[in-house]
Each structure stands twice: as C-alpha cells, then as structure tokens.
Chains A and B, each alone.
Chain A
Amino acid sequence: GAGVSQSPSNKVTEKGKDVELRCDPISGHTALYWYRQRLGQGLEFLIYFQGNSAPDKSGLPSDRFSAERTGESVSTLTIQRTQQEDSAVYLCASSAQPFGYGYTFGSGTRLTVV
C-alpha cells in the first residue's frame, strides 16, 4: 500500500484480556519495527524484523508480549493478560533499508486497558 497501515486505530480492553495489534507495512519494505509510546514520553523500541532473519526481541518488556511476521508481510503484536501499564500508543514502522534510513510510521494503535 501507499503507507503503513495499523489496525485497530483504537482498542479498549479489560485488564487480563489478550489483544492483537496488526501492522501492514509498505510493500517491498524488508524491515519492520514496533515501538511503544506512553503518554507524554518518547518512543520505546519493542521488536525489529528484517526479512527472514531472527527478530531482535530485545525491547519486549515481558513475556506477555510477542510478535510475529511471515516473510515481508503483515506483522501482529500480541499482548497477553493485559495490564493497565500496557496502555499506550503502539507504533509500527517499515523501512526499505535496515539501518534507520527512510522509516515510515503508521498512525498507531491507541490501547487503553481498563
């Protein structure tokens, strides 16, 4: 597509429920990143996919967080047993190069855990 598409744009969930966030990158972009943006704070790196290589999961905050991507297509970020501190905007970005050039961000999914 023309840009990075994320869905849903907003999600309200009850504490303890699982949620799944989706990112559809720009066609042909081999690199895909997930970031978290808490209210009034900067962007926190979560996970990075590059082609068929093993993902860099070093930013995932706990084992409740996981992400998948098949090849160079859609990625899903799953949060199990959500907690109130998981409330944030989850941003996805894709890039044609793996070294931070030309990132294109989606508009994000605003997750609220009540």
Chain B
Amino acid sequence: GENVEQHPSTLSVQEGDSAVIKCTYSDSASNYFPWYKQELGKRPQLIIDIRSNVGEKKDQRIAVTLNKTAKHFSLHITETQPEDSAVYFCAEGITGANSKLTFGKGITLSVRP
C-alpha cells in the first residue's frame, strides 16, 4: 500500500445518529484494511478490520464495508454515543513478513450529546 486518503477530516454528529467514514486506496494488491480508534492522549487501538476476501464485516454497532473494484472501504458506526468521540484512522497493506500498513491522516469524530 502506498497511498490512502481519508474523508472527511472532521465529522460531527448528534448522539444516536450514524457516522460513516470513507477511505480510498491506490494499491490493488492491498489485502488488509484495519480501522483504529485513538482517544485523546491514548494509543491507537484496533476496532475492526476486513480482509480482501469479504465485502462486509460487523461487530455490534460498528461495521466495515470494502469495495475492491472502486478501491474504497468505509467504517459505519450506528447509534453513536459520546464515548465514540475520538480520532479514527483507516489503514491498508499487504500481509506478509516484509509488509507495512499505510495509515490515513485520521478523522476527528465528535458526537454531540
């Protein structure tokens, strides 16, 4: 993976609403797409990931969709809560011993109570 774009750069939603964050990538060989959440002053933590052999994955209120043809993947958060407020990073890469992840620039999600 060489380049990953993340949109939008900031997002503000009302508590209870849904939030969608989209990332586009350029390397068609990429096969691993994780999403990380970073709260203020804390480390990035994996919240969900998807591999290129599936199109969607869900874990409670969060889901990730992958469109390999269009080279984009999205994070969906439903029923947002104030504790969802954080910076979210998408990343993409090719798994294997000599590979790396390329991270997007991050998006700041604010959930208004």
The answer to whether A and B assemble together is no
Write the residues of chain B forming the contact surface with A, with a CB cutoff of 8 angstroms.
none
What residues make up the interface of A, taking CB atoms closer than 8 Å to B?
Answer: none
